[in-house]
Each structure stands twice: as structure tokens, then as C-alpha cells.
Chain A
Amino acid sequence: MKPGPTTPPPPLTGLKTLRLMTVGGVIAYRALFNWTRPSIFIGTLLVGPLFQLLFFAYLGRQLQVADDRFYIVGNAVLTATLACVFGGTLAVGNERRYGTLGHVLLSPRSRTVVFLGRALPYAGNGLFIAVVTLGVSSALLGLRIPAAAVPGLLLSMAVGSLACAFFGLTLGALGLRFRDVWVISNVAVALLLLLTGVNVPSGSLPGWMVTVGQFLPITHAAEAARRLAGGSGLSAAAPELGREALVGVGYAILAALLLKIFETESRRTASLDTL
């Protein structure tokens, strides 16, 4: 066999772009997300967040700030953040670790498609964790969720996870410029815990924190999920879901812009340790 030069591949569109997002995204997830080992996945992504949820639920009972539904539903939606925020960071940060970033940047294909596709498996991962956490914690704490609310809840958690995955990718894009992006991700996860109104009712937060929370993922998805779990119909939750989707789209655009800017900057200043 003698592989020789051929004409360069033609520009790819449509289905091939979709394939790059999905097939490419899943392979990249397997390559870059270190936490898929069962022990780490179960311990870090399932058990840890469940205990955090129980902690806040019991604290809420003790302090009589809000009922179980407030904490269980809100925290269940929030559990997606670990996979989504750290996943997005790993999606870029681990490229540095493996020394593969240069080869990815040498791809003739759209960066936006390559990297936004990477967010999808993390969103799926986040949704899975949220569903498991909601199911287990509801069983443990005796929260009854109306069957009619389940599709809407799934939709809320899916939209929240997707928005959060794009938020994570935005942080990951910072990893093209700043080597210690993990610090930012750790702070971001703590801020989501505080500012999304999941554990502290937004009425109890200072006004500026509430304002910041409006622009973070999970805030609106958690509120929508609470309304649905409380028996309100999808129409009551739709405005919040719409806001959450807008937040997600905003972060997707921001991530794409940052990736473009930092890549261009790296070619000019050689600031990126590409290889």
C-alpha cells in the first residue's frame, strides 16, 4: 500500500458538520474527561452531590428557611454543574496536558463546531446526574413529584445542563489564555452554589447578587423545575425555561468568540503552548 497525496478534501457541510459535533464530541469526551472511571464518576459526580443536597435539605428543615421541595429540586438541577463546568474546562485544559492542542488547532474545520460539539456530552452527563440525584433524594426524603411534571422536569434539567455546559466551555476557552484555569472553575462552581438561588432564596440575597445570578446558568432552570414539581403546568415554567435557554445561547456565543480571539492571539504572540 502506498498512500500518496490526493486532492484535498472538499469543504464539509450539513450532515458532516452534525457528525463532527456528535461523533467528534463523544470521542473527545472519552479522551478528555478524566472522571469517567467508575470510582471517580460515582464518588465525585453522584455520591458527593447527593450528600451536599442532603446537607442543605436538613439545614433548611432545621432553619425553616424553605421546604424540602425547594432544596431537593434546586440542588438536583445544580448537580449538573460539576460535570458541565469541569467538563468544559477539561475539554480544553487536557489538550494542553496531552500536547494535542496544536493538532486540534491545525484542523481545517470550524473551531465553533469542534468545541461546541464537545459541550453536548457534558450536558448529557449533567442531565444524567441531575435525574439520578433527583430520583434518589426524593426517595430518601419522601418528596412526591407528580407524574405529569416529569417531562417538564426533564426538559428543565436538560436546558439547565446545556446552558451550564456552554458556561463550562466559556471557562475552558479561558484555558487557551490562562494556564491555571482550574482556579476559575473552582470559584465558578462555588459561585453557582451561592448565586443561583438554589440554596439561598433570592429574596435573602443582596440585589447585586440576584442580578449576577440572572446571568448564570441553573438559576432559571431551577426555578422552572420548582414550579413544575409544585404542580404548575409547563406554561408557568416556560418563561424561566426561555431565560435559561437565552443564558445558554449567550455563553455558547461567548465561548465561540473567546476561542476565536485566543487562537488568533496565540498565533500572533506565540502565547499558546501548542505543542
Chain B
Amino acid sequence: MGNDYAIEADGLRRTYRGRTGWLRPRRTEVEAVRGVSFTVGRGELFGLLGPNGAGKTTTIKMLNTLLLPTSGSARVCGQDVVKQTREVRRRIGYVFGGDRGLYDRLSGLDNLRYFAELYGVAPREQKRRIAELLELVGLTGRERERVEGYSRGMRQRLHIARGLLHSPEVLFLDEPSIGVDPVAARELRRTVSDLAATGTTVLLTTHYMAEADELCDRIAVIADGQIQALGTPAELRHHADGRRIVEVEAYGVPDTAVSALRGLPGVRETAIEERGALQLLTVQSDAHIDVQGDILRELAGIRLGRVNSREPTLEDAYVAIVNAA
């Protein structure tokens, strides 16, 4: 492994062992990550995509030294994540999504001051660095307010500022836009994109396909603890080559109807997304077979909205990859 890589993961595995029950304790074992290998180049914006429980966060926690791998090895900026933890920690920043992870009783400024101490930012540089970052994330003027009064978007921006305090070479972003409104999410994407443009290596995990598509140079799709596909967004789209997508807006589609659709000739995948009372039914089929008529026949008697046929997107490719796992 050379020094051209910011991150090198080689056969990473992590098994969680636990015990349940008092009277008759039973040992449990979950293989969260099962042999993950990939490399991330310096300055690259790399996406790790996968459904809940796929092993994304466990992988990040092994790379950022919070967890020891059960087997395999990893290096960040050439430093071993098991043996050279302090060296790794000097070089990385970690940002995760959600409301937690900040001291609510302190102001945004004091949060940054404290973490500047913890992350070893030289005292004479702290003031300038914090001011720069507040400007970067758009919190200038609000920094003296207590964090408990911040909106989720403001908290998320403060998380990012905190993660950048010590100018890390590698930034781990673990679902940073989760629960953030669309406007704030767009701001976040812009910030992340700016970071990558300045040479910071970013490893981003996300559920949001559009986010990954817009930001990432390369994407690894992880499911069931293993990498199922890895490539540029354009390369990943090929996983849905030869397919056609039919989307149907419907109300009250029973499970039996969805099962029936899966059995139609030419249908490869079905997915249903709840949008309040509305359900969006997505059916992937072989491109050379027109399944729209069959679908509508199966849904006869169900109240339908718009019906749309289109080319596959990255999201469709992702669904195809994950379902094939």
C-alpha cells in the first residue's frame, strides 16, 4: 500500500458479540462488516452507500479508531488505525448527523473553543480558525447563542465546523444530512463540495442517492456487511442497464398486489415508498418488455394517480445492487 491513498481498508471485518437473558444467558454474534476492502485517494470525495444496518457506520468507526477491527487492517494517511491511533486522530475529523453530539448548555462558540483544545489547535490560532469556520458554515452572528436553541440545520453546520477545527486531512461524514430540511441540505452539500475542492479527503456515508450522485467522485455500495459495487456514479448506473422503470402513484396498494407484480414476466425489482397517504410504486423491468399494461391490470380497482415510464437513475441502480446482495 502506497502513500497515494488517504484511506486504505483491507479485508476489514467486525463482529459484535453480546449476551442476552439473565436466567439462561445466550450468546449473540452479529457480523456487521464482512471483509471490506477499498482505497480512497488523497483529495477524493468517496461515498459509502447502503441501507440501514449495512455496515457503513461500523466501517467508519473502525477507520476513525473508535472500534478495533475483528480482523483485517486499515490505514489513514499511512497510519495504522489500530497501532497508531493518536497519529490517525491528529489527521481526521468526524461529523455525524442528528441532534446529538454537541454540548447543549454551551454556546456554539464555546463548543468550538472546547474542541479546539481537545484537538490540539494552538491557542494563538484558535480565534482566527474558529472565526473562519463560523463564516464557512454560516453561523457568524449566532455563535454566542446556546446550542440548545439551534435548529437542526444549525447544529449540523456546527458539527461540520467542529470536525474541521484542526484542519484534518481526512473528514468522515456519517449521514450528515439526515433529518435536515432541503435548503439546509443543499447548503451542506455546497460546503462539502468546497472542502473537497480544497484538497480535503472526504468519506461520506448517506442514504440519499442524489447527494451521493452530486458530490462523490466514486461510490461504494455496501450491503450485508460487504461491498457490492464500487465505481463512479456513471459506472454504477450501468447496473441498471437494459432496464426500464415504471412509476405508479397509488393509494392503498395491498401486499398481495405488490407480490403479484413481482411475479410478472420481465419484472426485475419492485419497491414501494410511502408518501403520506400516497404510495409511489416503482417497478424495474427488462427494457425490451413492456410491462406497463400488465402492472395496471394487476392494480385494477385501486385508486391510481400519475403513471410514468422513464430511464433508470443511479437510485434504480442502487436498488438493483442492494436487492441482488
**CB within 8 Å of B: which residues of A?**
1-6, 8-9, 12, 16, 19-20, 23-24, 27-28, 30-32, 34, 98-100, 102-109, 114, 267-270, 274-275
A-B contact pairs, 21 of them (CB 8 A): A5-B167, A5-B169, A5-B198, A9-B120, A9-B122, A19-B117, A24-B114, A24-B118, A27-B113, A28-B114, A30-B105, A34-B105, A99-B100, A100-B102, A108-B86, A108-B89, A267-B65, A267-B68, A274-B66, A275-B96, A275-B101
Known contacts A27-B114, A105-B66, then 19 further A-B pairs from the complex at CB < 8 Å, ordered by chain A residue: A2-B198, A3-B136, A4-B199, A6-B167, A8-B87, A8-B166, A9-B120, A9-B122, A24-B114, A98-B101, A98-B104, A102-B66, A104-B118, A106-B64, A106-B66, A107-B120, A267-B67, A274-B61, A274-B66
Identify which of residues 13-43 in chain B touch chain A, using a CB-to-CB cut-off of 8 Å.
14, 16-17
Bound-state Cα–Cα, A108 to B167, Å: 14
Bound-state Cα–Cα, A27 to B64, Å: 25
Q: Which residue of A lies closest to B92 (CB)?
A: A106
Bound-state Cα–Cα, A1 to B119, Å: 21
Contact A103 B166 (CB under 8 A): no
Give chain A nearest CB distance to B252 CB in angstroms: 39
Query: For residue A20, which residues in chain B have a CB less than 8 angstroms away from its CB?
Result: 117-118
Bound-state Cα–Cα, A16 to B120, Å: 9
Pick the contact of A100 from B16, B86, B103 — CB < 8 Å?
Answer: B103
Contact B94 A1 (CB under 8 A): no
Query: For residue A98, which residues in chain B have a CB less than 8 angstroms away from its CB?
Result: 100-104
Query: For residue A2, which residues in chain B have a CB less than 8 angstroms away from its CB?
Result: 194, 197-198
Identify which of residues 39-97 in chain B touch chain A, using a CB-to-CB cut-off of 8 Å.
61, 64-68, 86-87, 89-92, 94, 96
B311 within 8 A of partner (CB): no
Bound-state Cα–Cα, A23 to B123, Å: 11
Chain B interface mostly helix, strand, loop or mixed?
A: mixed
Contact A16 B123 (CB under 8 A): yes
* Interface residue tally for chain B (C-beta within 8 Å): 54
Contact A31 B114 (CB under 8 A): yes
B250 within 8 A of partner (CB): no
Give chain B nearest CB distance to A105 CB in angstroms: 7
Contact B200 A5 (CB under 8 A): yes
Contact B123 A1 (CB under 8 A): no
Give chain A nearest CB distance to B39 CB in angstroms: 18
Give chain B nearest CB distance to A36 CB in angstroms: 8
Bound-state Cα–Cα, A269 to B65, Å: 13
Contact A8 B123 (CB under 8 A): no
Pick the contact of A106 from B94, B102, B104 — CB < 8 Å?
Answer: B94
Interface pairs A-B: 10 shortest CB-CB: A99-B100, A4-B198, A31-B103, A8-B90, A107-B118, A108-B89, A5-B169, A6-B167, A27-B114, A9-B120
B115 within 8 A of partner (CB): yes
Query: For residue A30, which residues in chain B have a CB less than 8 angstroms away from its CB?
Result: 105-106, 110
Query: For residue B120, which residues in chain A have a CB less than 8 angstroms away from its CB?
Result: 9, 12, 16, 107-109
Contact B169 A1 (CB under 8 A): no
Query: For residue A6, which residues in chain B have a CB less than 8 angstroms away from its CB?
Result: 167
Give chain B nearest CB distance to A256 CB in angstroms: 17
Pick the contact of B89 from A12, A23, A107 — CB < 8 Å?
Answer: A107
Query: For residue B91, which residues in chain A have a CB less than 8 angstroms away from its CB?
Result: 8
B244 within 8 A of partner (CB): no
Query: For residue A102, which residues in chain B have a CB less than 8 angstroms away from its CB?
Result: 66, 94, 101
B152 within 8 A of partner (CB): no
Query: For residue B89, which residues in chain A have a CB less than 8 angstroms away from its CB?
Result: 106-108
Pick the contact of A32 from B92, B103, B110 — CB < 8 Å?
Answer: B103
B11 within 8 A of partner (CB): no
Pick the contact of B105 from A5, A19, A31, A108 — CB < 8 Å?
Answer: A31
Query: For residue A1, which residues in chain B have a CB less than 8 angstroms away from its CB?
Result: 132, 135-136
Bound-state Cα–Cα, A73 to B179, Å: 55
Query: For residue B122, which residues in chain A have a CB less than 8 angstroms away from its CB?
Result: 9, 16
Bound-state Cα–Cα, A32 to B103, Å: 8
Query: For residue B287, which residues in chain A have a CB less than 8 angstroms away from its CB?
Result: none
